[in-house]
Amino acid sequence: MTTAVRGRTAQDAASARRPVPVRVAWLAAALVALALVGAASVAFGVRAVTWPDVVAGVGGASNTLAEAAVLQRVPRTVLAMVVGAALGLAGAVMQGVTRNPLADPGILGVTTGASLAVVVGLAFFGLAAPTTVIWVAILGAAGAAVLVYSIGSLGRGGATPLKLALAGAATSAAFSSLISAVLLPRVDALTDFRFWQIGGVGGASFSRILQVLPFLAVGALVCVVTARGLNSLALGDDVAAGLGEHVARTRVLAAAGAILLAGAATAVAGPIGFVGLAVPHLCRLLVGVDHRWLLPFSTVVGAVLLTAADVIGRLVARPAEVDVGIVTAIIGAPIFIWIVRRQKVRAL
Residue 345: pLDDT over 60: no
Share of the chain above pLDDT 70, in %: 88
Residue with more model confidence, 251 or 127: 251
Residue with more model confidence, 125 or 136: 136
The Cβ of residue 228 has, within 10 Å, a number of other Cβ atoms equal to 13
Residue with more model confidence, 16 or 104: 104
Question: Which pLDDT value is given to residue 17?
Answer: 56
Question: Which pLDDT value is given to residue 190?
Answer: 65
Q: Which residues contact 337 (CB under 8 A, 6 or more apart)?
A: none
Average pLDDT over the chain reads 85
Question: Which pLDDT value is given to residue 228?
Answer: 92
Residue 3: pLDDT over 60: no
Contact of 145 with 110, CB cutoff 8 Å? yes
Mean pLDDT across 36-63: 88
**CA 256 → CA 37, 211, 253, 338, distances in Å?**
30, 19, 5, 30
User: Of 330, 301, 336, 258, nearest to 84 (Cα)?
Assistant: 301
Question: Which pLDDT value is given to residue 18?
Answer: 67
Rounded distance between C-alpha atoms, residue 324 and residue 106, angstroms? 15
Question: Which pLDDT value is given to residue 200?
Answer: 80
Degrees to nearest 5, angle at CA 45 with 39 and 48: 100
Question: What residue ranges define each of the domains in the chain, with the CATH number in brackets?
Answer: 79-326 (1.10.3470.10)
Determine which of 41-55, 70-84, 153-167, 207-221 has the lowest per-residue pLDDT on average. Answer: 153-167
347 band by pLDDT with thresholds 50, 70 and 90: very low
Contact of 260 with 224, CB cutoff 8 Å? no
Question: Which pLDDT value is given to residue 209?
Answer: 93
Residue 136: pLDDT over 90: yes
Residue 115: pLDDT over 80: yes
Determine which of 14-18, 158-162, 285-289 has the lowest per-residue pLDDT on average. Answer: 14-18
Q: How many helices (H) and strands (E) does the chain have?
A: 15, 0
Taking only the tens place, the pLDDT of each residue in 154-196 is: 877 777 777 888 888 899 999 989 988 888 777 666 666 666 6
Question: Which pLDDT value is given to residue 202?
Answer: 81
User: Of 296, 334, 293, 276, nearest to 95 (Cα)?
Assistant: 276
User: Of 109, 115, 101, nearest to 146 (Cα)?
Assistant: 109
DSSP string, 288-309: -S-HHHHHHHHHHHHHHHHHHH
Dihedrals φ, ψ of 156, to 5°? Answer: -70, 145
Rounded distance between C-alpha atoms, residue 81 and residue 202, angstroms? 13
Residue 95: pLDDT over 80: yes
Rounded distance between C-alpha atoms, residue 226 and residue 292, angstroms? 9
Share of the chain above pLDDT 90, in %: 43
Taking only the tens place, the pLDDT of each residue in 102-111 is: 788 888 889 9
Q: Where are the alpha helices (DSSP H) in 99-160?
A: 110-124, 130-152
Question: Which pLDDT value is given to residue 8?
Answer: 45
The Cβ of residue 192 has, within 10 Å, a number of other Cβ atoms equal to 12
Q: Which residues contact 221 (CB under 8 A, 6 or more apart)?
A: 257
Residue with more model confidence, 133 or 34: 34
Question: Which pLDDT value is given to residue 187?
Answer: 67
Mean pLDDT across 17-46: 90
DSSP string, 320-337: S---HHHHHHHHHHHHHH
Q: Where are the alpha helices (DSSP H) in the chain?
A: 3-16, 20-43, 51-58, 65-98, 110-124, 130-152, 161-183, 187-198, 206-225, 227-233, 237-242, 247-269, 275-287, 291-315, 324-342
User: Of 285, 254, 286, 268, nearest to 90 (Cα)?
Assistant: 254
Residue 13: pLDDT over 60: no
Rounded distance between C-alpha atoms, residue 269 and residue 82, angstroms? 10
Question: Which pLDDT value is given to residue 329?
Answer: 85
Residue with more model confidence, 318 or 12: 318
